[in-house]
Amino acid sequence: MSDALLELRNLRKAFGGLVVTDDVSLDLRQGEIHALIGPNGAGKTTLIHQISGTLTPDSGAVLFAGRDVTHMPMARRARAGLARSFQITSIVPGFTTLANAALAVQARSGSSFRFFRPAGQEAALNDQAMAALTEVGLERRAGVPAAVLSHGEKRQLELAIALAMKPRLLLLDEPLAGTGPEEAERLLRILGALRERYGVLLIEHDMPAVFALADRISVLAQGRVIASGTKDEIRANPVVREAYLGEDELA
């Protein structure tokens, strides 16, 4: 039996005559950060959509913790422990940072989102939400409206929302996009600490960040996995360099 937390088997997705993911197979283990890189238009986000349940593949299978979830709705996948961060939900600007995380706790429990609850239930929600905020370093910002958070802090909040879902696997689609150097460095420290507790599939265009974080890297080009291996193997792969059109980012 495979020990993979996530296993993709020959996934294919086409839109009309355009094949976006073409026979994609890869796996990810618990406690591992597996980065998925490739040029723009390579099919990375479409692949994440198929893993999270936003899209159903035309063929192939998605296995999560040994269970075939290929046709499982997104909400059921999330409750089973598969969380997509940075696109899992929209931050509610008028709610506090804590309230945004508490909404994710409610969603995990299948709540009807009633806003008037017994005090004991309210405390339980907030305790779990605060634990998620603490894990990403936002506990001191719990009481402020989400609208006033910096861009980097909003990225941290989106990650806290995913963590509040009690996931086993995090799907992170460009978590550093739009962040400045200090914010990116803070997020790198947070993401690096998560590998001990979660499996992480990471899409990111910041190559120094990828090589700092990833245990393994798979390279997607024109919908196909053209290489997969350790950081050193990917750096040395001439096919990968060609796919990046001679960019020096892999040096």
Average pLDDT value for the chain: 87
Residue-wise pLDDT tens digits, 6-33 = 999 999 999 999 999 999 999 999 999 9
Q: How far is CA 172 from CA 81, 96, 176, 240, in A?
A: 14, 23, 10, 22
Query: What residue ranges define each of the domains in the chain, with the CATH number in brackets?
Result: 1-88+168-251 (3.40.50.300), 89-164 (no CATH)
CA dist 209 and 63 (Å) reads 28
Mean pLDDT on 165-188: 90
Q: What is the DSSP code (8-state) at residue 148?
A: G
Q: What pLDDT, on a 0 to 100 scale, did the predictor assign at position 163?
A: 92
At residue 179 the predicted structure's pLDDT band, cuts being 50, 70 and 90, is confident
Q: CB under 8 Å to 61, separation ≥6 — which residues?
A: 7, 8, 9, 10, 11, 68, 70
